[in-house]
Amino acid sequence: MIFGVTFQALAAQLTVGLINGLMYAALSLGLSIIFGLLHVINFAHGTFFMLGGLATWAGLRYFGLSFWPMLLIAPLLVGLLGVLIERVFIRRVYGKDYLYGLMLTLGFTLVIEGAVRAFFGVSGNAYGAPPVRGVVDLGFMILPAYRAWMILLLGALIVGAWAIVERTRIGSYLRAAKEDRATLEALGVDTRWLFSGAFLLGVALAAAVGVIATPVIQIGALTGESFLIIAFATVVIGGMGSLSGTIIVGIGLGLIQGLTKTFYPPAAEVVVYVVMMLVLLLLPRGLFGE
Amino acid sequence: MSETALELGDVSAWYGRSQALHDVNLTVRRGEVITIAGRNGSGRTTLFKTVLRMMPRQAGRVSVFGVDVHAMRTPQVAKLGIGYCPEERAIFKTLTCDENLALVPKLGDRPGFSVDELYEIFPNLHARRRAKGGTLSGGEQQMLALARILRAGAELFLLDEISEGLAPIIVEKLREVVSLLRERRATVLLAEQNFEFAKELSDRLCFMDHGQIVESIPASEIDSRPDLVQRFLTL
Amino acid sequence: MSNTPSTPVRGYQADVIVPALVFAALLLGPAWGLYPVLGTTLLCMSIFAIGYHLLLGYANLASLGHAAFYGVAAYASGYLTKAYVIDASLALLLGLVIGGLLGAVMGYMAIRRKGIYFTMITLAMAQIVYFLCVQTPLTGGEDGMHGIPRPKFLGVVDLASDWAVYYLCLGVTLVAYLLSRRIVNSPFGQVVQAIRDNDDKARALGYRAESYILILFILSSAFSGLAGALKAVGLGHVTLSDAHWLLGGMVLLMVLVGGKGKLAGPLVGAIFITVIENRVGWVSNLIGDIGALEWLAKLTNSSTFLIGLVFIVFVLVFPDGLLGVKRGRNGKAVES
């Protein structure tokens, strides 16, 4: 027993915390990619997460599509919606004060959430049985098999997204545009497509996380909100320029939440804000920021 | 195939309310090497930016290889075959040397130098090819900036102060490269304060002051006009 | 001549005529069928927005934490009114003071940062305060605080009728509006605007920018507290949504819709948004009669959906708001 809590209980909470942390990391990765290049604060990010989950649920309910194909289909569909919104609406606020991007994307959040609420009701929709049943015995704890899968899938998502930006040719274009857009244009590259691409990547990432989360949480109109704020906190704490910083902080926050949940459950959500506030006051550029 | 590489007709440009170029007229034939000489603030960088349509506001006629560019965005203008080396070198610091080279799309019709050829011309870069741009020295950055546009197959080169602040041995290398370009009948505009560097390479010299091209003389006559250097280049 | 303004109302009209018209219309509320409860609601929001605008319009700081001041002041005055039936004027004063004190604490920390970081700090603080509100028993938690009695105002005025409450609110709103004008046009206000337009120059002239901005923050949080107290006493109930950051986001929207830089802006914006939020059913019923468009009726019945639409339309079509001052490239005001 540690501080009056069994090892099993602690391990269980930390596992949940790890999974949450991986979700925060993946979500904030998308936010960071979008903000880094477009300088737009995408308040609609949580909504795309929710839409990924909704698509998965709808896919099963109305089209009989099982979970695994939705991992590809949902991010694609939601990503395309995102690109549409970016090309038609968001591009009009490029270069303007950050408040405009914030308000515009918040507007889309409300519009989409309102629509979902109008047609599907407020309370969440349960997905049903997770796609992988059974458990995994780790010796010191028993883990539901799907949770183990979640860790793998989320990990792959994070590593994949990071690699796309940091190690591929397309990624070098994104990084160059982020650094010096004017020069890149003077070298013959039309950066408008890069902006759309970055937005697509970020949004698809959020939707993919939504798909993975669907079997374990209720997907309702407001699901995105709490994840959104924490994802923002992650980006800000990690430092707005650093991708790896975002990943580390996301996982860290999830684990901190897990710990808090074990010893003082009511504070589990607010502890993130306390950390965010402290970091912002003491470290102006965040933990790893540029 | 247009024999005129660049033509500027009554071109003006503004930064906000301040006018940086006043009715500039210039015709550059294919294969010419021209030095745009003048002090800081005389308008040389603005001239280059105006050709690429990077200015917040500009007026007048600009045509590149016979194509009028007034309705184009900067990347489209660049793709007509312009290779631009900005004053601050502007290589991408978070990208490696290799990545910087791979980045630039094909500019113009002719193929550019291959990566191997470029590493032959700039052996120092080969050693640093996996290093991030931000870790390169000033000279290496300049060479990379130049190598970039050579890779892309540009035919009209706008080189802004490439010799500035560099060691003589590197300036010598740059001179080699410009000569090489000249041999290949590329068109080069050099914006320079370093008169010695530019003088020998050029066919013609244009002197700028307060946003206008005030004098334009063939290189052969430069020695007989010491007053020009006095007037436009010294403090 | 660029004659397509991004704001429909300009100059003198915005400064004098619009507020005069608005107050006149509000004064004659009963005459044209205004519901007193709706009226009270939009007046509370107006006071909230006027205070918020002081900070956003004159210090360029967008806080997402102002709901903390509104909510806490509402809970505090609500509780004290319930427990001790204190005079309404005292409750309002309390709201003002609580808002100001909390603002002093939060503002002192938050103004160390600017821009997006400032916004995030205020958001974090608001969430912490929200958490405390949820945890504290006297707020009533999820159920909220209800049945707050209506005390007399200054011991004399009976507030039992909804219209009495409404006119009290109108009076307070008018005072708040005039006060905001006084603040902005005072020497203090001039310095604040100088800091906003050219921070470095103002500092070079010897002004301690931080002190001025902190005072502005406290003023705006005090207004928010006043609005909260008024809401508690005037409408009789306080819920968690009064302390939730989204409320602050709505006020931000109100000020942006009304327009920054013109003091009547927040007034107009608050009224506009509150009416949309509360009269949602009207549009929906209109459309609902057309059978084929039932889905549209469903959508427009959602106030969330409509408010979201307002956000989008205003950012894209009227970025400077209904009355706002058009900003040129360098952020400086461009008067025509």
pLDDT tens for each residue of C10-48: 566 667 788 888 888 888 888 877 888 888 999 999 999
Q: What is the mean pLDDT of residues B101-106?
A: 88
Answer yes or no: is pLDDT of A159 > 80. Answer: yes
C135 to chain A: closest CA residue: A266
Query: In what side-by-side order are the strands of the sheet with B18-29?
Result: B18-29, B4-15, B57-64, B67-68
A205 assigned to some structural domain: yes
Residue (of B124, B158, B128) closest to B5 by Cα position: B158
Determine what percent of chain C is predicted with pLDDT higher than 90: 33
CA–CA separation, B93 and A191 (whole Å): 18
CA–CA separation, B112 and B153 (whole Å): 3
Residue at token pair 């170029």: B21
Q: How confident is the model at residue A122 (pLDDT cuts 50, 70, 90)?
A: low
Q: What is the mean pLDDT of residues C150-162?
A: 80
Q: How confident is the model at residue B141 (pLDDT cuts 50, 70, 90)?
A: very high
The minimal CB distance from A188 to the residues B54, B79, B93 is found for B79
Q: What is the mean pLDDT of residues A123-143?
A: 76
Chain C residues close to A89, C-beta within 8 Å: 312, 316
- Coil, strand or helix: which one is B188? strand
Domain carrying residue A265: 7-282
Six-digit token string for C240 = 């968690």
The verdict on a CB contact (< 8 Å) between A189 and B148 is no
- State the pLDDT at residue A128: 73
CA–CA separation, B40 and B151 (whole Å): 30
Answer yes or no: is pLDDT of C332 > 50. Answer: no
For the ranges A116-120, B160-164, C61-65, the maximum mean pLDDT occurs at C61-65
- Report the number of distinct structural domains present in chain A: 1
Chain A residues close to B79, C-beta within 8 Å: 188
- State the pLDDT at residue C282: 67
The verdict on a CB contact (< 8 Å) between C117 and A118 is no
Answer yes or no: is pLDDT of B138 > 90. Answer: no
- Report the number of distinct structural domains present in chain C: 1
Mean pLDDT of chain C: 83
DSSP class of C325:
P
Chain C residues close to A107, C-beta within 8 Å: 308-312, 315
Across the A:B interface, residue pairs with CB atoms under 8 Å apart total: 66
The minimal CB distance from B94 to the residues A175, A186, A189 is found for A175
Q: Decide the pairing of beta strands B67-68 and B57-64.
A: antiparallel
- State the pLDDT at residue C117: 86
Restricting to C residues 7-66, those with a Cβ less than 8 Å away from any Cβ of A are: 62
Question: Dihedral sign, CA of C235, C241, C244, C246?
Answer: negative
Interior CA angle at A46 toward A43 and A48, to 5°? 105
CA–CA separation, A42 and A106 (whole Å): 8
Residue B191 backbone dihedrals phi, psi, to 5 degrees: -95, 115
The verdict on a CB contact (< 8 Å) between C128 and A93 is no
Question: Which of the other chains make 3 or more beta carbon contacts under 8 angstroms with chain C?
Answer: A
- State the pLDDT at residue C51: 94
The verdict on a CB contact (< 8 Å) between A187 and B84 is yes
Answer yes or no: is pLDDT of C335 > 50. Answer: no
- State the pLDDT at residue A123: 66
CA–CA separation, A238 and A236 (whole Å): 5
pTM: 0.86
Mean pLDDT of chain A: 87
Six-digit token string for C228 = 């909260």
User: By the CB < 8 Å criterion, does B108 face chain A?
Assistant: no
Q: How confident is the model at residue C71 (pLDDT cuts 50, 70, 90)?
A: very high
The minimal CB distance from A106 to the residues C112, C123, C311 is found for C311
DSSP collapsed to 3 states, chain A: CECCECHHHHHHHHHHHHHHHHHHHHHHHHHHHHHHHHCCCCCCHHHHHHHHHHHHHHHHHHHCCCHHHHHHHHHHHHHHHHHHHHHHCHHHHCCCCHHHHHHHHHHHHHHHHHHHHHHHCCCCECCCCCCCCCEEECCCCEEEHHHHHHHHHHHHHHHHHHHHHHHCHHHHHHHHHHHCHHHHHHCCCCHHHHHHHHHHHHHHHHHHHHHHHCCCCCECCCHHHHHHHHHHHHHHHHCCCCHHHHHHHHHHHHHHHHHHHHHCHHHHCHHHHHHHHHHHHHCCCCCCCC
Answer yes or no: is pLDDT of B14 > 50. Answer: yes
Higher per-residue pLDDT: C159 or A202: A202
CA–CA separation, C249 and A111 (whole Å): 15
Judged by average pLDDT, the poorest of A137-141, B42-46, C131-135 is A137-141
Question: Which of the other chains make 3 or more beta carbon contacts under 8 angstroms with chain A?
Answer: B, C
Q: What is the mean pLDDT of residues A30-35?
A: 92
- State the pLDDT at residue C137: 86
Chain B interface, best mutation among A172, A180, A187, A194, by max B CB count within 10 A: A187
Answer yes or no: is pLDDT of A241 > 80. Answer: no
Six-digit token string for B99 = 């990545």
Chain C residues close to A277, C-beta within 8 Å: 109, 121, 124-125, 128
A287 assigned to some structural domain: no
Chain C residues close to A260, C-beta within 8 Å: none
User: By the CB < 8 Å criterion, does C106 face chain A?
Assistant: no
Answer yes or no: is pLDDT of C59 > 80. Answer: yes
Answer yes or no: is pLDDT of C2 > 90. Answer: no
Shortest Cα distance from B212 to chain A (angstroms)? 23
- State the pLDDT at residue C323: 72
Question: Which of the other chains make 3 or more beta carbon contacts under 8 angstroms with chain B?
Answer: A
- Coil, strand or helix: which one is B216? strand
C151 assigned to some structural domain: yes
Answer yes or no: is pLDDT of A257 > 70. Answer: yes
User: By the CB < 8 Å criterion, does B15 face chain A?
Assistant: no
The verdict on a CB contact (< 8 Å) between A236 and C120 is yes
Q: What is the mean pLDDT of residues B84-95?
A: 90
User: By the CB < 8 Å criterion, does C310 face chain A?
Assistant: yes
Chain A interface, best mutation among C287, C299, C311, C330, by max A CB count within 10 A: C311
Chain C interface, best mutation among A273, A278, A279, A285, by max C CB count within 10 A: A273
Residue A137 backbone dihedrals phi, psi, to 5 degrees: -95, 110
The minimal CB distance from B95 to the residues A176, A186, A188 is found for A176
Q: How confident is the model at residue C284 (pLDDT cuts 50, 70, 90)?
A: low
Question: Dihedral sign, CA of B198, B204, B206, B207?
Answer: positive
The minimal CB distance from A100 to the residues C109, C116, C315 is found for C315
Answer yes or no: is pLDDT of C80 > 50. Answer: yes
- State the pLDDT at residue C297: 67
- State the pLDDT at residue A153: 94
Distance, CA of C329 to chain centre? 28
CA–CA separation, B194 and B179 (whole Å): 17
Restricting to C residues 158-187, those with a Cβ less than 8 Å away from any Cβ of A are: none
The minimal CB distance from A232 to the residues C120, C252, C314 is found for C120
Q: What is the mean pLDDT of residues A63-82?
A: 91
The verdict on a CB contact (< 8 Å) between B102 and A187 is no
* Cβ atoms of residues A65 and A73 within 8 Å: yes
pLDDT tens for each residue of C200-242: 777 777 778 888 899 999 999 999 999 999 999 988 889 998 9
Answer yes or no: is pLDDT of C100 > 90. Answer: yes
- State the pLDDT at residue C325: 56
Distance, CA of C315 to chain centre? 19
Q: What is the mean pLDDT of residues A57-80?
A: 89
Q: Give the CATH number of domain B4-232.
A: 3.40.50.300
Answer yes or no: is pLDDT of C329 > 60. Answer: no
The verdict on a CB contact (< 8 Å) between C120 and A108 is no
Q: What is the mean pLDDT of residues B113-120?
A: 87
Chain C interface, best mutation among A100, A103, A264, A278, by max C CB count within 10 A: A103
- State the pLDDT at residue B229: 78
The verdict on a CB contact (< 8 Å) between A103 and C307 is no
- State the pLDDT at residue C5: 45
Residue (of C189, C171, C167) closest to C180 by Cα position: C189
Q: Decide the pairing of beta strands B156-160 and B187-192.
A: parallel
CA–CA separation, A204 and A198 (whole Å): 10
pLDDT tens for each residue of A91-112: 998 888 888 888 899 899 989 9
Chain B residues close to A175, C-beta within 8 Å: 92, 94-95
Higher per-residue pLDDT: B157 or A228: B157
Shortest Cα distance from A282 to chain B (angstroms)? 27
Burial class (CB in 10 A: 0-12, 13-18, 19+), C288: middle
The verdict on a CB contact (< 8 Å) between C310 and A281 is no
CATH of the domain at A65: 1.10.3470
CA–CA separation, B71 and B65 (whole Å): 15
* Cβ atoms of residues C173 and C231 within 8 Å: no
Chain C residues close to A109, C-beta within 8 Å: 308
Answer yes or no: is pLDDT of A261 > 50. Answer: yes
C50 assigned to some structural domain: yes
C170 assigned to some structural domain: yes
- State the pLDDT at residue A1: 61
- State the pLDDT at residue A124: 67
The minimal CB distance from A189 to the residues B52, B93, B105 is found for B105
- State the pLDDT at residue B200: 85
User: By the CB < 8 Å criterion, does B84 face chain A?
Assistant: yes
Mean pLDDT of chain B: 89
> How many residues are recorded in chain A?
290
Chain C residues close to A281, C-beta within 8 Å: 109, 112-113, 121
Domain carrying residue C149: 29-261
The minimal CB distance from B78 to the residues A172, A175, A187 is found for A187
Dihedral (C-alpha) C206, C211, C217, C222: value to the nearest 10 degrees?
A: -130
User: By the CB < 8 Å criterion, does B130 face chain A?
Assistant: no
CA–CA separation, C123 and C132 (whole Å): 14
The minimal CB distance from C253 to the residues A103, A115, A270 is found for A103
The verdict on a CB contact (< 8 Å) between A172 and B148 is no
Give, in order, the Cα–Cα distances in Å from A111 to each of A44, A47, A107, C309.
Answer: 10, 10, 6, 6
Distance, CA of A19 to chain centre? 12
Single-letter amino acid code for the residue at C13: Q
- State the pLDDT at residue C330: 43
Answer yes or no: is pLDDT of C259 > 90. Answer: no
B91 to chain A: closest CA residue: A183
The verdict on a CB contact (< 8 Å) between A106 and C301 is no
Q: What is the mean pLDDT of residues C126-152?
A: 87
